[in-house]
């Protein structure tokens, strides 16, 4: 993410420096220069907004993908845990029956 931030910062800084240099070396009247400066600033602002929107869309998409993967991993872990608990219960019941002996297993309930 740092590369994107550096790119956007460099883009904005480059635009500002370019505008400043254009003002220094442009042989135009003050009103015309100010109008061009405002147009350039608006264009730069629009480009920066578009770039920021694009970055945010990519971040949201990546977050959504990450969320889906995380949810799938949690579901998989929960299934494995349920299976392990069920198997543990079965083993416990088998051992408990073995400790009571066959006569106790044959007793009528009631």
Cα 33 to Cα 3, 12, 43, 69, 89: the distances in Å are: 34, 20, 15, 54, 83
Local mean pLDDT, 10-residue blocks, the chain (110 residues): 78 83 72 82 88 88 83 89 91 84 56
Output the pLDDT for position 2.
Answer: 72
Cα 49 to Cα 11, 18, 29, 67: the distances in Å are: 12, 19, 30, 26
Output the pLDDT for position 102.
Answer: 57
Output the pLDDT for position 71.
Answer: 86
Output the pLDDT for position 84.
Answer: 92
Output the pLDDT for position 108.
Answer: 58
Give dist(CA 21, CA 43) in Å, integer. Answer: 17
pTM here is 0.41
Output the pLDDT for position 107.
Answer: 55
pLDDT tens per residue across span 21-52:
777 776 667 778 788 878 888 888 888 889 88
């Amino acid at each position: 993410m740092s590369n994107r931030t550096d790119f956007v910062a460099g883009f904005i800084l480059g635009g500002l420096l370019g505008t400043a240099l254009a003002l220094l070396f442009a042989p135009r009247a003050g009103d015309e220069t100010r109008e061009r400066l405002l147009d350039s600033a608006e264009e730069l602002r629009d480009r920066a907004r578009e770039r920021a929107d694009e970055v945010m869309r990519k971040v949201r998409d990546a977050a959504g993908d990450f969320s889906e993967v995380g949810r799938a991993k949690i579901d998989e872990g929960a299934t494995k845990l349920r299976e392990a608990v069920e198997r543990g219960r079965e083993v416990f019941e088998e051992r408990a029956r073995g400790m009571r002996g066959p006569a106790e297993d044959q007793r009528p309930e009631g």
